[in-house]
Amino acid sequence: MHTPGRWLRTGIALALATAGAAGHAASIKISCGSVGQELDLCKRSAEAWAKQTGHQVQVVATPNDASERLALYQQVLGAGSDKIDVFQIDVVWPGLLANHLQDLKPASRGAEAQHFPAFVANNTVAGRLVAMPWFVNAGLLFYRKDLLDKHKLAVPSTWTELTTSARRIQDAERAAGNDRMWGYVWQGRAYEGLTCNALEWSVSHGGGSIVESDGRISARNPKLADALKTAAGWVGSISPTAVLNYAEEESRGVFQAGNAVFMRNWPYAWSLAQADGSTIKGKVGIAPLPAGPGGKPTATLGGESLAVSKYSRNAALATELVLYMTSAAVQKERALTGSFNPTRPALYQDAEVLKANPFMGDLVGAFTSAVARPTAATGSQYNKVSNEFWNATHDVLAGSAKPDEALAKLESNLKRASRGGRWN
């Protein structure tokens, strides 16, 4: 479509490309997530790079719902657009987006060797390093220490304990006048974040990963059905019904306002809970998520990387920006101000990082044993698999399907989409 806007944009892009080629200042467009402090911190370091190098940066905000962000990226990249040079990509996307991304290895000067090897392996598709690791995520249980102390309850280590304690404290606090108090907030919207929560419920009950590492589809099983039944029981009881539309920031909003006893979230929520002026400053603890019957405490592995578009007109410069943003200095600053877990093992020996974020030392096991979503087996089909899983889960949470029915349907949808019931 040749709209005036399109011509204008093409004109600008050409002008920038020419400026870059002639060695003048170029403008690099970087797209970052916008959960919590993500956008602010991205802007701050990108601008610091621009100042140091004499180039310019434009930070493009994206939706804070991971699945909406993916849809936007697929649209931009699918059109071969040069609108965005650098993309913040989710740990589950390299297999989906690899064909549109540059191989960073030729220009990385070996920087990847300083990051967690498993993350580098995750970002390597058909021998090409399509993104540089930026921060690691694992699902964590945030709890109100003050409320557990007041009600003489321990940090829950099973889902049953969590459910009972959440109920007790919620009831007591409401009776004492805080009628907005909830027991447990988490991410129940139909999107990628629900896949992360539901995978934790499943594996912590011994119910598997929907598709196993050998490609076998395992969705239809009684342990996962039990896990979903437990979670559905929270909705409207210890969790507001609105949790069915909560992503990370909606759940944090309730917890940050002092209106929830427990919250499942990623590490970024720590720096905000502890910020000056926060209602819950000094009142929050972090623990591993609880275990189910016969299962173990489980965290879903998350995280983000930075990638350079194949369609960038300033790929060399964009790669320099990525190397700067993922450097030890910037990752340390992001850990100190934003509690983003570094992807560089060396920073876990840094006293300042550990002091600002005690959980990074104390809960190292939650990160090292975190469970990956089934991307390795499903490759470019991962988003479809995840979409089926979060929809099935959402149906159960919303009460529109029974766990067994939803899982039977999920299993047959996945079988139909795969090669004869397996994924590789």
Q: Rounded to the nearest whole angstrom, what is the least distance from the CB of residue 62 to ligand GLC in the complex?
A: 11
Q: 317 to 356, contacts with ligand GLC by CB under 6 A?
A: none
Pick between residue 90 and residue 103 the one whose CB is nearest to ligand GLC: 90
- Closest by CA to 115, choosing from 106, 105, 101, 125, is 105
Pick between residue 254 and residue 317 the one whose CB is nearest to ligand GLC: 254
Told to check if 263 binds ligand GLC by CB under 6 A, we report no
**Contact residue for ligand GLC among 42, 86, 129, 196 (CB under 6 A):** 196
Told to check if 199 binds ligand GLC by CB under 6 A, we report no
Q: Rounded to the nearest whole angstrom, what is the least distance from the CB of residue 388 to ligand GLC in the complex?
A: 16
**Contact residue for ligand GLC among 116, 266, 311, 324 (CB under 6 A):** 266
Contact between 163 and 238 under an 8 Å Cβ cutoff? The reply is yes
List the beta bridge partners of residue 135.
Answer: 304
Q: Rounded to the nearest whole angstrom, what is the least distance from the CB of residue 50 to ligand GLC in the complex?
A: 25
Pick between residue 165 and residue 393 the one whose CB is nearest to ligand GLC: 393
**Contact code string over 297-316 relative to ligand GLC, x by CB under 6 A:** -----xxx------------
**Cα–Cα distance for residue pair 160/266, rounded to 1 Å:** 22
Told to check if 382 binds ligand GLC by CB under 6 A, we report no
φ/ψ of residue 265, rounded to 5: -160, 180
Pick between residue 16 and residue 41 the one whose CB is nearest to ligand GLC: 41
Pick between residue 173 and residue 200 the one whose CB is nearest to ligand GLC: 200
Told to check if 200 binds ligand GLC by CB under 6 A, we report no
The stretch near ligand GLC (CB under 6 A) out of 149-157, 189-197, 274-282, 397-405 is 189-197
Q: Rounded to the nearest whole angstrom, what is the least distance from the CB of residue 304 to ligand GLC in the complex?
A: 5
Q: 34 to 63, contacts with ligand GLC by CB under 6 A?
A: none
Told to check if 197 binds ligand GLC by CB under 6 A, we report no
Q: Rounded to the nearest whole angstrom, what is the least distance from the CB of residue 222 to ligand GLC in the complex?
A: 27
Pick between residue 91 and residue 273 the one whose CB is nearest to ligand GLC: 91
Q: Rounded to the nearest whole angstrom, what is the least distance from the CB of residue 248 to ligand GLC in the complex?
A: 6
Q: 86 to 125, contacts with ligand GLC by CB under 6 A?
A: 90-92
Told to check if 272 binds ligand GLC by CB under 6 A, we report no
Interface with ligand GLC (CB under 6 A), residue total: 12
Q: Which residues bind ligand GLC (CB under 6 A)?
A: 66, 90-92, 137, 192-193, 196, 266, 302-304
